[in-house]
Amino acid sequence: MKSFVAAAVAAVVGLSLAGAAEAQPRAKRAKASDTVYRDTTSPDSVRGVGTESQDIVSMADTMVRDLLLVPALMNQPTPPRVIVDSKFFRNESSEIIDKSLITDRIRVGLNRAASGRMMFIGREYAEMVELERDLKAEGRVDVGTTGRTRAQAGADYRLVGRIGTRDAVDTRTGVTSRFSQYTFELVDLEYGAIVWSNLYEFKKENRDDVVYR
């Protein structure tokens, strides 16, 4: 008898709790905001102390303009061969950043502005090129329209660089200050000489830093 009463009480309590849970109002989901397009050269509405879109655009454009004045690149009878990618562009800073966003923009800008006065070597695509060369050598495909070469193109110069930062945090106010320095250099791939260098730097302060991805 006691077990029957206990079971009945438990059932009543369970129904009461279920009813109370159903009676509670459901939390409303926040309404999604409309997507807004902004000029890539303008400051982000979400601002922190890290590298943002306007910084990438500005530094890439600055480097392109300066590289177009380098005699070793622009004053040669035979267009020099240049590699511009992120492989030797080191990130030693305190933030996560996609280095290719910077080097890709520099390469594209140079390629468009140079108008054939420079040849850009896609070293990151070397494996793809070698596969195609093997198909041609085996006779499985024809040689295309430009004919065969003895080997893939070697490069004369490569753009390298380094990203560095220095952070300071005021523990009383929570303000973060970050100095960012981007170093760009053009290296002669035969002698190892640095034929061009430039810096891009900025300093930012913010009380509440944002997350960069």
Pick out the chain residues at pLDDT < 50: 2, 5, 9, 13
Distance CA 117, CA 79 (A): 5
157-169 vs 81-91, strand pairing mode: parallel
Q: What local confidence, expressed as pLDDT, does residue 206 receive?
A: 85
Q: What local confidence, expressed as pLDDT, does residue 184 receive?
A: 98
DSSP letters, 78-147, are SPPEEEEEEEEEEE-SSS---HHHHHHHHHHHHHHHHTTSSEE--GGGHHHHHHHHHHHHTTSS---SS-
Distance CA 64, CA 66 (A): 5
Q: What's the mean per-residue pLDDT of the chain?
A: 86
Element (H, E) at 47: none
pTM attached to this predicted model: 0.78
Q: Which residue's entry shows tokens 């004369």?
A: 156
For residue 72, which phi and psi values (nearest 5 degrees)? -65, -20
Give the gyration radius of the chain's Cα atoms. Answer: 29
Q: What local confidence, expressed as pLDDT, does residue 48 receive?
A: 78
Distance CA 184, CA 196 (A): 8
Q: What local confidence, expressed as pLDDT, does residue 174 receive?
A: 83
Distance CA 163, CA 101 (A): 13
